[in-house]
Amino acid sequence: MVLRIIVGSLALLSVGLLLWQWLVACRFPLHSRLSTSSFAPGLTLLKPLKGCDETTEACLRSWFAQAYDGPLQILFGVAAADDPVCLVVNKLIKEFPEVDARLIVCGPLTGTNLKVSKLAELEQETQHSVFVISDADVKVPPDLLAQSVLPLQTPEVGLVNCFYRLANPTTDAMRWEAIAINADFWSQVLQSQSLKPLDFALGAVMLVRRADLKQIGGFSTLADCLADDYQLGHRIAQLGGRIAISSVVVECWSARMGWRAVWKHQLRWARTIRVCQPVPYFFSILSNATLWPLLWLAAAPTRFVFAVIVGSLVLRIGVAMDLHRRLTQVRPSLSDAWFVLLKDILQFGIWLLAFFGNRVEWRGERFRLRRDGTLARN
């Protein structure tokens, strides 16, 4: 009886947390646009690159096509001149001669996080007062810079970042991950923000002032951190800067991945969050609105409980589909409903494994994740 009461309470709590998550997401002005403004400071876009796939050119092209009224400098950083992405970058530089863009071969790279090591070198070549940091696989709308820079008019804002969606889930494994990203992650961030101001950043696109970056010691201080985006936002927040979320949504385009690759990616993400925010990550399992209802049914297999569980699972699927539609502006298919439940069940395994190991695989290399969030090569 005690077990039934405990599991039943956790099931009801998970549904309550799900509704809270949905309500705060519905209130956020996703995809809205701010009024045009004359505020257009000089921007330097920093793009560390390594390798390319069939989506790279379209992603990089979207940055050349920005409708931004202020000065814009684009710096691409690679570790070697023979990296195949150099051909793509040089092609785009020739195609857009009016854009102030350069390709810089960085090296030797000293930090464990090679992306941040490139950023530290690119930082020395920057010309403008505001930096834009973005991953290679991010495709953006033409007004991204014009809209996302506006919160920096407020001195209290120390960093601006954006929500992102997985744009091309081409395999079943990627469709499973798309539920985690396109439905759950962004709404969970807003749920966290409803409790307290954000003290971390989302890495797809970040805008930060040169002066604020200098105060935390520049990119070089993050050269051994796995979650460099989290650490950048966290250190800006510690200085008193507010982390703002732009209403503009960007797209992440990924190479085709199977179950093994997606599982490794999710496990790396989980272990990173566990190290960065151990207490919130431990309690995050309480919001699993599939796991706890199913455990309640297993502990108390009555008709009443069964009816309640069916209702809660239908609610879970409906909320996830609505959040997915809000972020992507695409109506998900009915077949995606099963991936919602599958995601929650597998997520419990990932949550558990996050506490039993500190090894992660990133870009084909294996690392050991230290307690302070820094990396050490195996």
- The 10s digit of each residue's pLDDT in 308-357 is 999 999 999 999 999 999 999 998 888 888 999 999 999 999 999 999 98
Distance between CA 186 and CA 321 in Å, rounded? 13
Residue 172 has pLDDT above 80, yes or no: yes
In a domain, 281, yes or no: yes
Which pLDDT does position 336 carry in this prediction? 87
Name residues whose C-beta falls within 8 Å of residue 179's C-beta, 6 or more positions apart in sequence. Answer: 320, 324, 336, 339, 340, 343
- The 10s digit of each residue's pLDDT in 208-224 is 999 999 999 999 999 89
In a domain, 32, yes or no: no
In a domain, 367, yes or no: yes
Which pLDDT does position 361 carry in this prediction? 82
Residue 1 has pLDDT above 90, yes or no: no
In a domain, 123, yes or no: no
Which pLDDT does position 52 carry in this prediction? 92
Task: Give 298: exposed, middle or buried? Use CB within 10 Å, 0-12, 13-18, 19+.
Answer: exposed
Residue 130 has pLDDT above 80, yes or no: yes
Residue 35 has pLDDT above 90, yes or no: no
Which pLDDT does position 294 carry in this prediction? 96
Q: Is 88 in contact with 52 (CB distance < 8 Å)?
A: yes
In a domain, 164, yes or no: no
In a domain, 46, yes or no: no
Question: Number of folded domains in the chain?
Answer: 1
- The 10s digit of each residue's pLDDT in 86-108 is 999 999 999 999 999 999 999 88
pTM over 0.85: yes
In a domain, 369, yes or no: yes
Residue 378 has pLDDT above 80, yes or no: no
Q: Which domain holds residue 297?
A: 2-27+274-377
Question: For all residues of the chain together, what is the average pLDDT?
Answer: 94
Residue 191 has pLDDT above 80, yes or no: yes
Tell me the mean pLDDT in the region 57-66: 97
Residue 377 has pLDDT above 80, yes or no: no
Higher pLDDT, 94 or 225: 94
In a domain, 278, yes or no: yes
